[in-house]
């Protein structure tokens, strides 16, 4: 089989650059995510060093990266404790929706967009990036914090809301009828409820089925099942990330511990590719005209995300620092926002540029802000808590 020299060379350069950027970020105790995003901006079309041969691999790897990030995150929790957290945070989901979708809808109206554009921009400002935040919580070692179940509950409820939102947006953007939109929404919600029911009542059987003493067999089984579930989730208009997260929740005990161990290196590789891909999707030349509007919208919705995260963490019993950490963790936008713009099509070129600038601003600023927000003073003891239990 012939091997593309250009592909090998570009991938080698990309991985070397990501390695250097990761080492630089660790040197200053920062998450490498913002640097990966900026590297993607430099390597994309219109950047200083485009990588056309590697772009197809990066695009495919980005989707796998999101799936692996949410799978490994789900392995940190059990179905029952997370189901309790979801029920507790239904009011948080309502607050999150109102505070963050309304600014986008108002901005769409002010920009003179049609109904599809307004609905799309409302979704862009509403949905946080599960991929970025999942990696960020691990980077900052906050998976065991009291506020973390609140953050994860908000993220998963947002992804579930996307199951109803995306079919609605697709029909509205295509000029379809409200009857068609309602049918799509009902089918998607039914699929979500079925997936939750299966995961809650029969998920423990999955662990026994996938468990194996050999690491290779365990890796192949868990990853294979996860990708199948993620594909089915996408077919029924549910996020592939939600499907992967449910698989992770379903695995418990030693199976979960070993699965996390064998999957972590693979997750780290494809997660880096995912962050790079977000930067690659943005053309630097298209950002300048829309930058003022994107910056204003980013400032407003960063504040509204902090408010919704603060409210959710307070319901979890977190203190003031924990509430601030939860709010700032939710600031980052990413993969879903890009998907939303893709659904409304080429009729909204201006919207595409605006969203690209908006996503890049918050994808870079979010991890930096949450790194320093709510941090404990140097030398302060880490308090014990009864929040999410890390296995």
Say if residues 340 and 120 touch (Cβ distance below 8 Å).
yes
Q: What's the pLDDT at 34?
A: 82
Which is more confident, 41 or 322? 322
Is the pLDDT at 191 greater than 50? The verdict is yes
Torsion from C-alpha of 84, 259, 235, 330, nearest 10 degrees = 50
Tell me, what's the pLDDT at 9? 92
Residue 188 and residue 257: Cα distance in Å, rounded? 32
User: Is the separation of the CB atoms in 150 and 318 below 8 Å?
Assistant: yes
Band (pLDDT 50/70/90 cuts) for residue 250 is confident
> For position 382, what pLDDT does the model report?
46
Higher pLDDT, 325 or 30: 325
- pLDDT bucket at 345, cuts 50 / 70 / 90: low
| Residue with tokens 């901006």, as numbered in its chain | 41
Average pLDDT, integer, range 98-127: 91
Q: Work out the widest C-alpha separation in the chain, in whole angstroms.
A: 60
pLDDT averaged over every residue in the chain: 82
| Residue 204: pLDDT band with limits 50, 70, 90 | low
What is the predicted pLDDT for the residue at 330?
95
Question: Tens digit of pLDDT for each residue in 259-315?
Answer: 999 998 998 899 888 888 877 877 777 788 888 999 999 999 999 999 999 999 999
Q: Is the pLDDT at 331 greater than 70, yes or no?
A: yes
d(CA 71, CA 82): 14
Name the percent of the chain lying above pLDDT 70: 85
Q: Which helix (H) or strand (E) holds 33?
A: helix 33-43
pLDDT at 262: 93
Q: What is the average per-residue pLDDT within 217-227?
A: 93
Q: Residue 380 above 50 pLDDT?
A: no
- Does the pLDDT value for residue 378 go beyond 60? no
pLDDT in tens, 126-172: 999 888 898 888 888 888 888 998 998 898 888 778 777 877 787 77
The candidate with the shortest Cα–Cα distance to 300, out of 102, 13, 29, is 102
CA of residue 366 relative to chain centroid, distance: 12
Predicted local distance difference test score (pLDDT) of residue 228: 92
CA pair distance 320, 325, nearest whole angstrom = 9
Per residue in 108-117, pLDDT (tens digit) is 999 888 888 8
Asked if the model's pLDDT at residue 381 lies above 50, the reply is no
State the average pLDDT over residues 234-239. 70
pLDDT at 375: 66
Task: Go through the domains of the chain in sequence order and give each one's CATH number.
Answer: 55-372 (1.20.1530.20)
pLDDT of residue 384: 42
pLDDT top residue among 71 and 239: 71
CA distance linking residue 133 with residue 330, whole number of Å: 7
Predicted local distance difference test score (pLDDT) of residue 385: 42
* pLDDT score of 28: 76
Task: Indicate the pLDDT class of residue 1, thresholds 50, 70 and 90.
Answer: low
């Amino acid at each position: 089989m012939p091997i593309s020299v250009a592909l090998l060379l570009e991938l080698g350069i990309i991985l070397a650059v990501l390695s250097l950027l990761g080492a630089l970020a660790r040197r200053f105790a920062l998450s490498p995510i913002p640097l990966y995003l900026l590297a993607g901006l430099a390597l994309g079309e219109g950047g200083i060093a485009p990588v056309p041969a590697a772009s197809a691999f990066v695009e495919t790897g980005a989707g796998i990266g999101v799936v692996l990030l949410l799978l490994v995150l789900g392995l940190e929790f059990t179905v029952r404790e997370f189901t309790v957290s979801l029920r507790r945070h239904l009011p948080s989901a309502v607050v999150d929706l109102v505070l963050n979708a309304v600014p986008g809808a108002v901005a769409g109206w002010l920009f003179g967009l049609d109904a599809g554009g307004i609905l799309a921009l409302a979704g862009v400002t509403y949905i946080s990036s599960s991929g970025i935040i999942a990696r960020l919580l691990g980077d900052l070692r906050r998976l065991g914090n009291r506020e973390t179940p609140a953050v994860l509950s908000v993220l998963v409820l947002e992804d579930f809301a996307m199951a109803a939102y995306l079919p609605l947006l697709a029909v509205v953007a295509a000029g379809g009828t409200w009857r068609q939109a309602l049918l799509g929404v009902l089918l998607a919600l039914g699929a979500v409820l079925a997936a939750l029911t299966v995961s809650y009542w029969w998920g423990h059987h999955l662990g026994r089925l996938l468990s194996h003493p050999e690491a290779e067999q365990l890796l192949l089984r868990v990853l294979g099942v996860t990708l199948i579930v993620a594909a089915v989730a996408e077919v029924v208009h549910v996020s592939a990330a939600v499907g992967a997260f449910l698989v992770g929740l379903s695995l418990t005990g030693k199976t979960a511990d070993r699965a996390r161990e064998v999957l972590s290196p693979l997750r780290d590789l494809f997660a880096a590719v995912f962050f790079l891909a977000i930067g690659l999707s943005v053309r630097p030349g298209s950002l300048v005209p829309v930058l003022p509007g994107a910056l204003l919208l980013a400032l407003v919705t960063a504040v509204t995300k902090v408010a919704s995260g603060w409210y959710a963490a307070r319901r979890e019993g977190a203190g003031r620092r924990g509430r601030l950490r939860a709010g700032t963790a939710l600031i980052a936008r990413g993969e879903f926002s890009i998907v939303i713009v893709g659904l409304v099509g080429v009729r909204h070129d201006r919207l595409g540029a605006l969203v690209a600038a908006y996503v890049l601003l918050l994808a870079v600023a979010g991890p930096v802000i949450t790194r320093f927000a709510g941090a404990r003073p140097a030398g302060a003891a880490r308090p014990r808590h009864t929040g999410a239990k890390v296995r």
